[in-house]
């Protein structure tokens, strides 16, 4: 009798399991990948302003956060060190990220 599930079988099952509340079926609003983390993102940005006073020099930069999965917002730039993921615009000061989009 097999007491454990095999890795391949677990990955097949895990592919379709979601630990989040699904969107209502009668909801006409278009949803993106980022809608699920918007509230947390806004809260973290408020805290970053509350606990850190930026210096005189700020920088606006774009970064790619690695993500290898299925989402329509993924960009693929083969010449970058992190070629595939989400492109994020950040406002930073001395390595501390204040805001992101």
Q: Measured between alpha carbons, how far is residue 50 from residues 8, 43, 47, 79 in Å? A: 46, 11, 5, 37
Q: Which residues contact 65 (CB under 8 A, 6 or more apart)?
A: 82, 85, 86, 88
Regarding pTM above 0.85, the answer is: no
- Tens-digit pLDDT string for the chain (101 aa): 667 788 888 888 888 776 666 667 777 776 777 777 788 889 889 988 888 888 888 999 888 888 888 888 888 888 888 889 989 999 988 888 889 98
The ranges assigned to domains in the chain are 37-101
Look at residue 60 in the predicted model and tell me its pLDDT. Answer: 93
């Amino acid at each position: 009798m097999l007491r454990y599930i095999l890795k391949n079988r677990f990955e097949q099952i895990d592919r379709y399991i979601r630990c989040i509340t699904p969107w209502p079926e009668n909801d006409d609003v278009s949803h993106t990948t980022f809608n699920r983390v918007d509230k947390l993102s806004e809260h973290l940005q408020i805290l970053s302003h509350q606990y850190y006073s930026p210096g005189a020099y700020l920088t606006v930069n774009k970064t790619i956060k690695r993500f290898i999965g299925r989402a329509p917002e993924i960009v693929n730039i083969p010449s970058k060190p992190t070629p595939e993921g989400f492109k994020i615009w950040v406002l930073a000061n001395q390595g501390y990220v204040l805001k992101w989009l």
